[in-house]
Structure 1
């Protein structure tokens, strides 16, 4: 009897040990399979939230990734946080901004995927077309270096001016090569573009400021085309250079570059204020 009890005791002990082993293995497996990526963004309102909600769902469903967002309100902070590895990725800037930031901060951040482009418009409340702009007309453009260059390229693509090619994509008003209509180019703070519009013939205004000021789409007389000039304004997902080939980060790009995200962008921006950029031809 004593021997039988001993055998039963040994069997029970073995069951407990094996069970604990399975539990530990399951726990270890759960921890190993838990994949979290933190991505820094700037607050963009309900429309942007709707887009990121779909991206997050794609990342979870297709790749088993828990995509977590870190919100920043200062445009300089997402890159600093990424460079110091406080976050894994960020998605708030275009190629031109990243290039400028890397140069100014001796940074080593790289784009790993395209997201959207927000075309900039030339608006006018007085004229219905670019051709109707008279000789000597005043055109307002943003005065910060990035948006000034972008606005000048809009005027160039509208056929109003030409630019010195040596400046490439970093042009200022000093780089205007020809100005057949003798336009007066007035530099103003980007946020003041909408207020300036009633007093000038036309103004190049960023979409977010035009939208906030409720400027109707009918006042747009020219929209930035998708070409070599505008490619630098494509928004991007950014990583540290040494992490650029990590599969988990490539999966986040794929989660964004999907048909349901594109459909959501089109739904949230029926006026074309934002366009899915990953399959555009520049």
Structure 2
């Protein structure tokens, strides 16, 4: 009996021990795994949200270079340093200047009217006013360039007083410069014109010619070339400079600063419908910059003076000149 009790007790202990061992081998679940799993899922969701919310960085687009605006400018001479400098400065404003050269004063305005060029720069207001009236055009100034004194040059004589009787004097044949040339000869004391002759006098307006001078009208660009054949020649400042003549070489010239020379201010001109074109006005403004002024002095041997006159004043002078021409034609 005692032996049976001992065996039963040993059996209970063995079973209990086996049960305890089995419990140790089973995984315990106190919620930690669930929390860890939830945290991991939340972190993953958060990272995904951040990735979705973060702005996508775009690669910066490279701007295409601006294409320069091409502008054709009519001129009657481009030798020297002035125009190359203006072209270079214009390029910095995305403007490409193409110079179109003409050998005759009548052509640049006709080319402008026919839209073969966009601007021209060769003429003064007196010339432009006469041309507008004669050709029924409306070409207008958008900026001033220079005043070029009109001088009497001679290869044979040092003073006006030395010019002999019967001598030949050459003058430009275009109306504006011819009239101005005759006024210079009158100021020099070589002849006398009728009263109130205005700006566009002709040899027919000479009322006193004590030395019996022979007045020979030639194309303006030819006035330096005929010097060897005449006693004297009236040559404007720009053409004189291109021919290598200095203003100090003239035996007489008019005063570039006098009010009477205002009609002879040279200008940039364009068609009336383009007068407010900012590109064209930019080119005109470049002419007034200090380095350009220096090249003008150099190119013209000091015979041209850069002048800055407001566009409104230029237009006012042009309008008055046109009115005077039309008024004279009506009389």
Above 0.5 in TM-score? yes
* Aligned equivalent of 1:170: 200
2:71 equivalent in structure 1: 38
Change (3 A) 1:84 1:196: closer
Native 8 Å contact 1:37 1:88 kept in 2: no
Alpha-carbon contact 2:241-2:299 (below 8 Å) kept: no
Q: Please state if 1:277 is matched with 2:307.
A: yes
- How far residue 110 of structure 1 moved from its aligned partner, in angstroms, is 0.2
* SS class of match (1:122): strand
Find the counterpart in structure 1 of residue 18 from structure 2.
none
Q: Which runs of 5+ in 2 are unaligned?
A: 1-44, 310-331
Bigger Rg over Cα? 2
The CA deviation string for residues 182-220 of structure 1, in whole angstroms up to 9 with x for no partner, is 342322434665565456543324567767777787763
Residues in 1 aligned to 2:82 and 2:153: alpha-carbon distance in whole angstroms: 27
Deviation track 1:93-133 (CA, whole Å, cap 9, x = no partner) reads 22233223222322111011111244332123443212334
**Deviation of the 1:170 alpha carbon:** 0.3
TM-score where L is the length of structure 1? 0.72
Residue of structure 1 in register with 2:138 after alignment: 108
Please name the residue that 1:140 is paired with: 169
If asked which structure has higher relative contact order (CA below 8 Å, sep 6+), I would say: 1
- Hey, what does 2:234 align to over in structure 1? 204
For structure 1, list consecutive stretches of 5 or more residues without a partner in the other structure: none
1:189 aligns with 2:218: yes
Please tell me whether residue 242 in structure 1 is matched to residue 273 in structure 2: yes
SS in 2 for 1:171: coil
Name the counterpart of 2:191: 161
Shift of 1:176: 1.9
Query: Shift of residue 165 of structure 1?
Result: 3.9
Report the aligned-residue RMSD.
3.7
**How many residues in Structure 1 have an aligned counterpart in Structure 2?**
257
The structural deviation recorded for 1:35 is 5.8
Cα distance in 1 for partners of 2:287, 2:167 equals: 41
- Is the partner of 1:236 in helix, strand or coil? strand
Output the CA distance in 1 between the equivalents of 2:288 and 2:186.
31
C-alpha distance in 2 between matches for 1:205 and 1:74: 16
- Of the structure 1 ranges 107-116 and 142-151, higher mean CA displacement relative to structure 2 is found in 142-151
State the distance in 1 between where 2:168 and 2:230 align: 6
After superposition, the Cα gap between the structure-2 partners of 1:246 and 1:162, relative to the gap in structure 1 and judged at 3 Å, is: same
Q: Is the 8 A contact 1:138 1:185 kept in 2?
A: yes
1:151 aligned to 2:151? no
Q: Is the 8 A contact 1:41 1:78 kept in 2?
A: yes
Secondary structure of the 2:251 match is strand
How far apart, in 2, do the equivalents of 1:202 and 1:90 lie?
Answer: 30
CA separation in 2, counterparts of 1:67 and 1:120?
33
Q: State the SS of the aligned residue for 2:276.
A: coil
Secondary structure at the aligned position of 2:79 is classed as: helix
User: 3-state DSSP class of the match of 2:169?
Assistant: strand
Q: How many angstroms apart in 1 are the aligned matches of 2:172 and 2:121?
A: 25
Task: Note if 1:263 corresponds to 2:301.
Answer: no
